[in-house]
Amino acid sequence: MAARFKIIILDKDANDPVYRYLLWADVPAARQPFYANASATSAWTDATAGDLAALQNGSVVERQGELRVPSGSTLAQVQAFLQARWSEFQNQVTNDNPWVRYGTTWDGTTWTAGGVS
């Protein structure tokens, strides 16, 4: 299941230009077992059962962060800042693969290549 949303703003500090937010990224199918966590939940209280299932089965991963914006920033600028952060996060999840050699074995004589795409 693809992430229902990509960015969720949680709150903004009333006295400081700081936004707390969530990013949801889609996980490549072959790597979903590594992201799966049956007890995963979301920091967003309005996440649906489907959202939680996606986080738990590893098809979606969540990152929480804070964004300090320059004083006087417009909503459009805040949205652009967040979109850039989401794009970086999605690219990281898609392109960084620490499991590229997962399961590679050596039996004392021969190496057998493993790996997850």
Confidence band for 15, pLDDT divided at 50, 70 and 90: confident
| Residue 117 maps to a domain | no
Domain presence at residue 93:
yes
Question: Domain for residue 1, yes or no?
Answer: no
Please indicate, yes or no, if residue 75 is contained in any of the structural domains: yes
Mean pLDDT of 65-76: 93
Residue 35: give the domain boundaries: 7-112
39 located within any domain: yes
- What confidence tier does 16 reach under pLDDT thresholds 50, 70, 90? confident
Q: Is residue 72 situated within a structural domain?
A: yes
pLDDT in tens, 71-81: 889 999 999 99
3-class DSSP string for the chain: CCCCCCEEEEEECCCCCEEEEEEEEECCHHHHHHHCCCCCCCCCCCCCHHHHHHHHHCCEEEEEEEEECCCCCCHHHHHHHHHHHHHHHHHHHHHCCCCCCCCCEECCCCEECCCCC
Determine the pLDDT at residue 13.
84
pLDDT band at residue 89 under the 50/70/90 scheme: very high
For the chain, how many structural domains are there in total? 1
Global pTM value: 0.90
The answer as to whether 60 is a domain residue is yes
Q: Is residue 65 part of a domain?
A: yes
